[in-house]
Amino acid sequence: MRGLSSVPSYVVMQPTTLCNLDCAYCYLPFRAADRRMPVGVAEAVAETVNHWASTARFSVVWHGGEPLAAGREQLAALMAPFAPGVEHHVQTNATLIDDTWCEFFVAHRMRVSVSVDGPRERNGERVTRAGQPAYDRIVRGVAALRRHGLPFSALAVVNDPSPGRATELYDYFLDLGCEVLGVNIEETEGVNIRANAHDAAAVTGFWAELVSAWRRDPRIHLREVEWSLRYAGAVLDGTADALLPGRLDPIPTVAYDGSVVVLSPELAGFTDPRYGDFTSGNVLTTPLHTILAGADRTAWVGEFVDGVEACRASCPYFGFCGGGHAANRYFELGRFDGTETEHCRNSKIRLLEGVLEHARDHQSPGA
Ligand code: SF4
């Protein structure tokens, strides 16, 4: 794995910076402002994306702010330039979903992922702009999806990986009816400066318990556990080296104004005296494929690639992790060429350790 690929597996688009919620752990700097993406930005992105989608499966992920806060008319206008084969996904807080939005998702074949942190009492951080709990509105939105028979994924943030939490979480999402679940341990990034260091044994235990809960009733695709099992299987088969891509996926985020940040959406909207505004170009002046072809030359990206190589040279978990996320390095370490972060300890190292702990605890005697 050396440098960035010039073709990503998907593009993230920010239709508006605005979010109607004000969650305590949110990383977004401009979520109180309604800065909307002009259609010209989507047209410029579509020129490149439609070409990629003509030869391979390709996705656009609409991610805000709260993308639905842009409104149906605006979102439809932004989606219109993309070819029919392009797959559209939306990451939403679900509070605005109603029957009309569900009809929109069906008409536009849009796949939905909702953000919810588990049962009501675990959603205390998810609040409206007036500071009121958002949970009832979230579950109303999810109920609308279910009424319309729309499959959905879910993303949960865990800020206290303590005993019992994993079982509670998994059982909750079984009842909620999602098809895929992603679990994020809260991260220190963007405007969220809360510490994310946890007791190592507690986090490892959390992941081990999550595997146990999943194995009892594996109806949900559990993102992190499936990654880990795929890696463990590949190690046993001797094919683990083939799991890492040859080059890093650039995962471009196109901000509302057309500026492009690669690798980490969380860097969009920030500036630093050393790295400037982290952007690699703007689709209003340069085609997206040209921006990505030269993204390796963005100052901070070169430093990040050095950091990935430092991980490769020093970390026994590199084959599983692939070198971590740019934003976590920057917001935790202040630079991109460091290696371990609290995020990678919580969500890579202890995840793999947790899966192995579960395997050890459930080994058959004599095996
Ligand atoms: S686990 Fe951390 S130190 Fe190891 S490869 Fe990943 S980011 Fe680097």
- Is the Cβ atom of 324 under 6 angstroms away from ligand 1? yes
Ramachandran quadrant class, 355 (left: phi over 0; alpha: psi -120 to 50; beta: rest): alpha
- Cα 323 to averaged position of ligand 1 atoms, centre (Å): 5
The whole-number average pLDDT for the span 300-328 is 92
Q: Is the pLDDT of residue 27 over 90?
A: no
Tokens of 254: 């196109």
The whole-number average pLDDT for the span 327-335 is 93
Nearest CA to ligand 1 atom 7: 324
What is the pTM (predicted TM-score) of this model?
0.92
Q: Which residue matches tokens 């009842």? A: 175
Higher pLDDT, 239 or 258: 258
- Cα 330 to averaged position of ligand 1 atoms, centre (Å): 14
- Cα 344 to averaged position of ligand 1 atoms, centre (Å): 6
The whole-number average pLDDT for the span 13-37 is 88
- Helix extents (H) in the chain: 39-53, 72-79, 99-107, 135-147, 165-176, 200-216, 223-237, 288-293, 299-314, 318-321, 326-333, 342-344, 350-361
Q: Is the pLDDT of residue 190 over 90?
A: no
- Which residue from 227, 339, 341, 345 has its CB within 8 A of the most atoms of ligand 1, so it is best to mutate? 339
- Cα 315 to averaged position of ligand 1 atoms, centre (Å): 6
Band of residue 141 on the pLDDT scale cut at 50, 70, 90: very high
- Is the Cβ atom of 311 under 6 angstroms away from ligand 1? yes
Cα 228 from chain centre: 17
- Cα 348 to averaged position of ligand 1 atoms, centre (Å): 7
pLDDT in tens, 91-139: 999 999 999 999 999 999 999 999 999 999 988 888 888 889 989 999 9
- Cα 297 to averaged position of ligand 1 atoms, centre (Å): 23
Per the prediction, the chain carries an average pLDDT of 92
How would you class 333 by CB atoms within 10 Å of its CB: exposed for 0-12, middle for 13-18, buried for 19 or more?
middle
Q: Is the pLDDT of residue 25 over 90?
A: no
The whole-number average pLDDT for the span 218-237 is 91
pLDDT in tens, 197-225: 889 999 999 999 999 999 999 999 999 99
Q: For residue 308, give the ligand 1 atom closest to its CA.
A: 8
Q: Is the pLDDT of residue 280 over 60?
A: yes
- Cα 311 to averaged position of ligand 1 atoms, centre (Å): 6
Q: Is the pLDDT of residue 367 over 60?
A: no
Band of residue 323 on the pLDDT scale cut at 50, 70, 90: confident
Q: Is the pLDDT of residue 1 over 70?
A: no
Alpha carbons 207 and 158: distance in angstroms, whole number: 11
Alpha carbons 327 and 293: distance in angstroms, whole number: 21
Band of residue 350 on the pLDDT scale cut at 50, 70, 90: very high
- Is the Cβ atom of 34 under 6 angstroms away from ligand 1? no
* Phi and psi at residue 183, to the nearest 5°: -120, 120
Q: Lowest-confidence range among 92-96, 175-179, 264-268? A: 264-268
Nearest CA to ligand 1 atom 3: 340
- Is the Cβ atom of 75 under 6 angstroms away from ligand 1? no
Residues 230/244, Cβ–Cβ less than 8 Å:
no
Alpha carbons 345 and 361: distance in angstroms, whole number: 21
- Which residue from 228, 336, 348 has its CB within 8 A of the most atoms of ligand 1, so it is best to mutate? 348
- Cα 21 to averaged position of ligand 1 atoms, centre (Å): 32
Specify the pLDDT at position 308.
93
Band of residue 186 on the pLDDT scale cut at 50, 70, 90: confident
Q: For residue 340, give the ligand 1 atom closest to its CA.
A: 3
Q: Lowest-confidence range among 46-55, 95-104, 105-114, 312-321? A: 312-321
